[in-house]
Amino acid sequence: MSRSSGTADLPEAFIDQLRIVSGQYHNRKILTDSADCWAYGYDNSRGRSLPAAVALPESTDEVAAIMAACAEHRIAVCPRGRGTSTTGGAIPPQGGLALSLERMNRILSVDPANRVAIVEAGVINQTLQDHLKPHGFFWPPDPTSAAFSTIGGNLACNAAGPRTLKYGTPRDNTLGLTAVTPQGRIIRTGSYTTKSVVGLDLTRLLIGSEGTLAIITEATLLLTPAAQAETTLRASYSSITEAAAAVSRIMAQACQPRAIEFMDSGAIRAIGQLDRNPLPEQTRALLLIDVDGTENGLQESVDAIMAAAQSDGLLEWLRASSENEAAILWQTRKALAPSLRKLAPGKINEDIVVPVSRMAELIDALDRLAQDHRLLIVSYGHAGNGNIHVNLLYDPADERQTAAANKCLAEVFELTLSLGGSLSGEHGIGFLKRNFVSMEVDDETMAVMRGIKSQLDPLNILNPGKMYPDQVTH
């Protein structure tokens, strides 16, 4: 996506109205200079499209007034956290208004007695985690982008991370939302309590709707008490099959690890030079396992997990002896995404999911696809959920490789679905993947989704061109 015109697209009356509802001219709450707007026209998908204006509201009421003005003038709006989306979700393909929640960044309350925090949507995930630490709590969703992505963006994408395995996604850890509909109405979903069945579950509907149904402005989050003790284990295997079978066994016993991350042989090669604890030479698959619990119970959990992970293909166990050693083991996993850029200039990064028991089949079939298309495919990710980041590496300057990567991508999706999986575990659909959605969602089900979208957004002004496939007219 690349769009670089359009600053003149918006009616002057609309911009004036925005400035009035935003309460002041002085605080630069409305930006229209294209140099300012450019900073709000990109995300981590590396696509770009220039918004005609940017709004920086500071309250739910301001968001509501801005949306009412947009509805009146039929202006497209793209909600935005910090633009770390990998799927083009935060890019405004039609120009219009980028609405950034960055100034709504207050932690409104922390209530340890009820394990609840109320935050504005623009709070950075890591800021919240740091704030909760002295209270002895954390909010479980931990995308690798936690240091710079917002709670609103995490909720909009149902973004998760390694410890989702034990503690769940935003959908499992959010009690309620304040949100603004595309027509400018303020709605409040859910409750302050951990149980409530009053009305439809709009909280779970809005979470993961990628900013297409409403703008989330505040969230009531359910917190989890911090574990007393934790440790990291590293297990090296001689084959993918052995590692995948170990994951299934670990997940089928009572002591659940906090995270199980997987790396295939391509990923191991990519991080080879980074690893301060060299691996046995025959290593073809690696598991990184985090275990947490009580001081007294930790060793018992580690023993149970190690017993489940044993097999003829297990080459080596390593247990971090300190927090620092654990951080070093994790550093290599975290360095993986950027280190792939050294292997090839182009990367299609997917985050498919398969049932855990089908992971070995998936990785074997990916190897065959790599050979058929003469491409390098590197896979790693959240093995305990079967959520694998599949990276198709290629040189965009090479026509053969580019065509092969695009063809291979469709085959990766077909393969995933044939194994009973899903096209995206956490990155969402955004702009880039919307035309693959109908491979997974049938027409009847899609019609219901479109019905909900048009009920909330009859003018189709909120994040148009995202998530829903283009409609084919016959």
Ligand X SMILES: Cc1cc2nc3c(=O)[nH]c(=O)nc-3n(C[C@H](O)[C@H](O)[C@H](O)COP(=O)(O)OP(=O)(O)OC[C@H]3O[C@@H](n4cnc5c(N)ncnc54)[C@H](O)[C@@H]3O)c2cc1C
- Give me the numbers of helices (H) and strands (E) for the chain, helices first please: 15, 20
- Asked if 386 touches ligand X (CB under 6 A), the answer is no
Helix (H, G, I), strand (E, B) or coil at 431: coil
* Beta carbon of residue 46, minimum distance to ligand X (angstroms, whole number): 10
- Asked if 203 touches ligand X (CB under 6 A), the answer is no
In angstroms, the CA 286 to CA 264 distance is: 7
In angstroms, the CA 80 to CA 91 distance is: 8
* Beta carbon of residue 169, minimum distance to ligand X (angstroms, whole number): 9
- Asked if 347 touches ligand X (CB under 6 A), the answer is no
In angstroms, the CA 425 to CA 428 distance is: 7
Q: Are 225 and 137 in contact (CB under 8 A)?
A: yes
- The partner residues of 218 in beta bridges, in order of sequence, read 120, 178
- Asked if 152 touches ligand X (CB under 6 A), the answer is yes
How many CB atoms within 10 Å of residue 272?
Answer: 12
Residues 6+ positions from 408 with CB-CB distance below 8 Å: 369, 370, 372, 373, 375, 377, 392
- Asked if 160 touches ligand X (CB under 6 A), the answer is yes
One character per residue 254-293, x = contact with ligand X (rule: CB under 6 A): ----------------------------------------
Of the two residues 89 and 190, which places its CB atom closer to ligand X in the complex? 89
* Beta carbon of residue 295, minimum distance to ligand X (angstroms, whole number): 29
Kindly provide the residue ranges of all beta strands, DSSP E only, lying in 223-265, ordered along the sequence: 224-225, 229-237, 259-263
* Beta carbon of residue 392, minimum distance to ligand X (angstroms, whole number): 18
Q: Which has the closest alpha carbon to 220: 207, 238, 233?
A: 207
- Asked if 424 touches ligand X (CB under 6 A), the answer is no
One character per residue 96-135, x = contact with ligand X (rule: CB under 6 A): -----x-------------------x--------------
Q: How many residues bind ligand X (CB under 6 A)?
A: 37
- Where helices occur in 22-86 by DSSP H, the ranges are 34-38, 60-73
- Among 22, 94, 149, 220, indicate the residue that binds ligand X (CB under 6 A): 149
* Beta carbon of residue 35, minimum distance to ligand X (angstroms, whole number): 20
- Asked if 86 touches ligand X (CB under 6 A), the answer is yes
Residues 6+ positions from 39 with CB-CB distance below 8 Å: none
One character per residue 216-245, x = contact with ligand X (rule: CB under 6 A): x-----------------------------
Question: Which residues contact ligand X by CB under 6 A?
Answer: 43-44, 78-86, 89-90, 101, 121, 143-145, 149-150, 152-154, 156-157, 159-161, 210-211, 215-216, 426-427, 430, 463, 466
